[in-house]
Amino acid sequence: MCGIVGYIGSRDVVSTIISMMFELQHRGQEAAGVAIASKNGDIYSVVGRGLVSEALNYTNLYKLYKVEGAFGGIGHIRYATSGGYLDSQVQPIVVGEDRFKAAIVFNGTIANYIQLAKEFDIKAINGDALVFAQVLYKLAKEFGNDFIEALKVLPNYVIGGYSIAVLTSEPRIVVAKDPRGFRPLSIAVTNEEFFASSETAALDVIGISNWREILPGEIASYDGSSIEFTRSSIPALVSPCIFEYVYFSRPDSIFNGVSIYIARVRMGEELAKNVPANGDVVIPIPDSGRGAAIGFSRESKIPLEEGIVVNKYIGRGFIAPPTYREFVSKLKYGFIRCVIDGKKVILVDDSIVRGTTIRSIVNRLRVYGAKEVHVRVASPPFEYPCFMGIDIASRDELLAWRTMSLTDIAKVVEADSVGYNTLEGLLKSVGLPLVCHACFTGLYPFKGLTVDDLEKMFSRGPL
């Protein structure tokens, strides 16, 4: 999971890109970068480590603000899923030479990037991002310097998921989504302006309401005056990531026409039907557990209270590098004693992946006087790794894989009980005919590939 944005138009290019990136900060917090193209096709880029405000402060951006005749640009928020963490490849990645250059950003994971590096004779391997960019560039050269044609055939080579934006030296911006549609991507064209964003919420916030989602396998190209659409003809079963609805996306975003907020509230309603709990108060783990807690409270008629306060300056624990996760889980949350003391607490979260955060919170609730703590989870047990954009490359990381029974999981997180939503309840909440739920079922949408095959194929760390 990362965040990507793009803009072409008469506004301040750098400021517009940065504004959208701030709205996607929840999709990554390790690094950020911006690339812009001048009207004569020169490409300039700036990247840095940390949050957008840290990586792209005014000092770093000064060279971009100095560019005369800025045509447009792209931006990226980094959540590393390969190639290390704090030393992972920062995007945009600039490829090419002379008058055929491009800056590339993408959101997703390329599971077979090591194989691709060998096939395309790519020597420098530091995760999938650099390999992916080089593969796309080499394909474009084969098609007479045409990135659109390269994107049409790219699914023939890639095992994984991606939403991508390419800023070329023509200049133009080309955006595309893989044929399975794993990751969100939307665009808007208005008054000779072009906007692209991983999530619709970032467009809404800056006043762009006439957006549309890029369809699975669709490619859109904008050169400053006209928009062109085409598609990859390579067949694939559409399977958007269900975890976008559970955790990743903002509640004010839309993905495949489905409101993230409404889907989460429905998850809570289904959860209350499937695994009710006897309690005095429903407390969400903020922020991504709030929608499900609202639904659970409505269905169960047990009052909802904000008993946990989140520190907005710490960041999201799930997407933090491993060395920071326990630190984040301990410092991120504050607790309201008068809501908790003497109560049977029903604690609602979106998911339990590694168990780091939930165990810490259960312990703190007891310190603040909770009589009982019953954990209810809006999604099924997370038992399998993801190779399409979530930073879990091995089953050994997963609590539900290591401890298979609910009783064992309750002991590990030190709760009085633990209950999960069913897959049927989750699918009903989202309401789409097809989704990728491999993280819950182990059924991957790649023909003939099992979890064992994918684990052998993919390398999380730098090579």
Angle of CA points 104, 105, 110, to nearest 5°: 105
Residue 137: burial class (beta carbons within 10 Å; 0-12, 13-18, 19+): buried
297 is in an annotated binding site: no
Closest CA to 351 of 418, 255, 448, 305: 418
pLDDT at 80 exceeding the cut of 90: no
436 is in an annotated binding site: yes
CB 32 within 8 A of CB 77: yes
pLDDT at 319 exceeding the cut of 50: no
pLDDT at 458 exceeding the cut of 50: yes
- Omega before 433 within 30 of 0, i.e. cis: no
Residue 386 CA to residue 428 CA, distance in Å, equals: 22
pLDDT for 86 equals: 54
Residue 76 CA to residue 129 CA, distance in Å, equals: 12
Q: What is the CATH number of domain 3-239?
A: 3.60.20.10
pLDDT for 356 equals: 83
Tokens 């991002």, located at residue: 129
Give every CB contact of residue 251 below 8 A, 6+ residues apart in sequence: 260, 261, 264, 287, 290, 291
What pTM value is reported for the model?
Answer: 0.93
Rg of the chain on CA atoms, in Å: 22
CB 462 within 8 A of CB 445: no
CATH architecture, domain defined by 260-444: 3-Layer(aba) Sandwich (3.40)
pLDDT at 150 exceeding the cut of 80: yes
280 is in an annotated binding site: no
Q: What SS3 state is found at 234?
A: coil
pLDDT at 323 exceeding the cut of 70: no
Mean pLDDT of the chain: 92
Residue ranges covered by each domain of the chain? 3-239, 260-444
* Active site positions, annotated: 2
439 is in an annotated binding site: yes
146 is in an annotated binding site: no
